[in-house]
Amino acid sequence: MRSRGKKRGVLLLLLTVCFIMSAHAGSNTADSLQQQITSLRARLEKLEKEREKSEKQNALEALLSKARTMSETKRADDSQYQKFHSGLRQQSALNPNISVGGDFYFATGSSRSELNRLPSDFSYGTGRFFLREMELGIQSALDPFSRGKVIFSFGREGVELEEGYVEWLNCPLNLNLKIGEFKTQFGKLNRYHDHALPQFDKPLVMARFFSLEGLKGFGLGGNFLLPRLWSHVNELDVEVITGGTGQSFTCEGKHNIITVMHVKNYYDLSRASYLEIGFSGAFGRNDPAEQLRSIVAGVDLTYKWVPPERAKYTGLEWRTEAMFSHRETPDDPISAWGFFSSLQYHAGARIFLSGRVDYTRLPQDSDLWEKGGALAVDYWQSEFVFVRLQYTCVRRNFDEDDHRWIIQTCWAMGPHKHEAY
């Protein structure tokens, strides 16, 4: 009986060991199958990606081949109908830019004196419609190193050469060189043509010191871009001209040489504003015999604010300039001075509001003075056409006071437009 019990125990032990081994073997087989399935799935995904890439590459090559075929066909067709032109037909590309502008106005005033009613070197006149001027501007780059500009003015005194010069650019020593007839760089507004002024008329001090024509003549001018000194940008203008308008400097004589200098100092105040300060000087003779000297000095200040994101709709520009004159005479020398301050506000896409105050003593007689002011509204129909309504008041101690209303219309065609400097 004991022997049978032992045999049964041994048999039970063997069966248990076999079951455990079989279970372990089954577990290993399941893990192996799972690994094989994962590997096959990865290979299938890789094969699918390679197939898609191959199809895209084949499609791209087919498109490129088709494009090359079409390009070759187009060139072959064009060659059958190719036209040849004479080189003379290309000369039109060398034609200069031509501009035409008109400046018309109507003025009425309270004064009946000839000084105010008749056009002169100091007054634009009142009481009727006027053609202040028609401008014909011709300008072009002559070559990579120089450019030319000619401006004719058709006004009440006939045809006049307003400016005409050639300018060499980027010469050694950061120099721009100019030769011809031009308005000098005295102060801020002397170079402005009438249609580009912030108000209809020039300030009283400029009209009395240089006349409405401004200080201009035929000569040589150089503009130097100086190394950065005390401001962000420093410029020096030196000009020598033969000319004068008969006010501070004679327009007669054998030489009547005038020397003009201007130093500009520019400061960036912020992303939207800058400040510019300038100092000017002019030296010449004031009598036909060219024996007596005149000196005119000036200081100008310009502040401009234009937010970049709203430059089309708003902005502010403030200009102030003071001028001083010392004039030799056969008796005692005469010293005179004057100033103006102008403010222009951009009130909308097409509206500008501006105002100016003036004061000056006459350089020929410092006991005589003028003072006044102006208010103006400008409506810009486009960059080529604008209409201006202005009220001006002038008081004098040598003639009648004058209150006047002015309606001005300016238009321009071509690239010159309403050029400012």
Integer CA distances (angstroms), 43 to 53, 57, 338, in order: 15, 21, 93
Report how far residue 412's alpha carbon sits from residue 421's, in angstroms, rounded to the nearest whole number: 17
Identity of residue 284: G
Triad 392, 274, 349: Cα angle to 5°: 55
Output the CA–CA distances (angstroms, integers) from residue 341 to 208, 338, 377, 397, in the order listed. 16, 11, 17, 21
Cα–Cα distance for residue pair 226/235, rounded to 1 Å? 5
- 10 Å CB burial of residue 134 (0-12, 13-18, 19+) is middle
Residues 353, 339: Cα–Cα separation, whole Å: 21
Q: Decide: 401 and 389 in contact? Cβ < 8 Å.
A: no
**Spatial distance between the Cα atoms of 209 and 195, rounded to a whole number of angstroms:** 20
Q: What is the chain's pLDDT, residue by residue, as a tens digit (421 residues)?
A: 555 555 555 566 666 655 555 555 555 566 677 777 777 777 777 777 777 777 878 888 888 888 788 777 766 555 555 555 555 555 666 788 999 999 999 999 998 898 888 888 888 889 889 999 999 999 999 998 999 999 999 987 789 999 999 999 989 988 999 999 999 999 999 999 999 999 999 999 999 999 999 999 999 999 999 988 888 999 999 999 998 788 899 888 887 899 999 999 999 999 999 999 999 999 999 998 889 999 999 999 999 999 999 989 999 999 999 999 999 999 999 999 999 999 999 999 999 999 999 999 999 999 999 999 999 999 999 989 999 999 999 999 999 999 999 999 999 998 766 555 5
pLDDT of residue 276: 97
Give the pLDDT of residue 378: 97
| Residue 215, pLDDT score | 93
Q: What is the pLDDT of residue 297?
A: 97
Compute and round to an integer the Cα radius of gyration of the chain: 42
CB 321 within 8 A of CB 187: yes
pLDDT at 398: 92
Class of domain 97-413: mainly beta
SS (H, E, C) the chain: CHHHHHHHHHHHHHHHHHHHHHHHHHHHHHHHHHHHHHHHHHHHHHHHHHHHHHHHHHHHHHHHHHHHHHHHHHHHHHHHCCCCCCHHHHHHHHCCEEEEEEEEEEEEECCCCHHHHCCCCCCCCCCEEEEEEEEEEEEEEEECCEEEEEEEEEECCEEEEEEEEEEEEEECCCEEEEEEEEECCCCCCCCCCHHHCCCCCCCHHHHHHHCCCCCEEEEEEEEEEECCCCCCEEEEEEEEEEECCCCCCCCCCCCCEEEEEEEEEEEECCCCEEEEEEEEEEEEECCCCCCCEEEEEEEEEEEEECCHHHCCCCEEEEEEEEEEEEECCCCCCEEEEEEEEEEEEECCCCEEEEEEEEEEEECCEEEEEEEEEEEEEEEECCCCEEEEEEEEEEEECCCCCEEEEEEEEEEEECCCCCCCC
Structure tokens at 349: 């896409």
The CA distance from 236 to 278, in Å, is 10
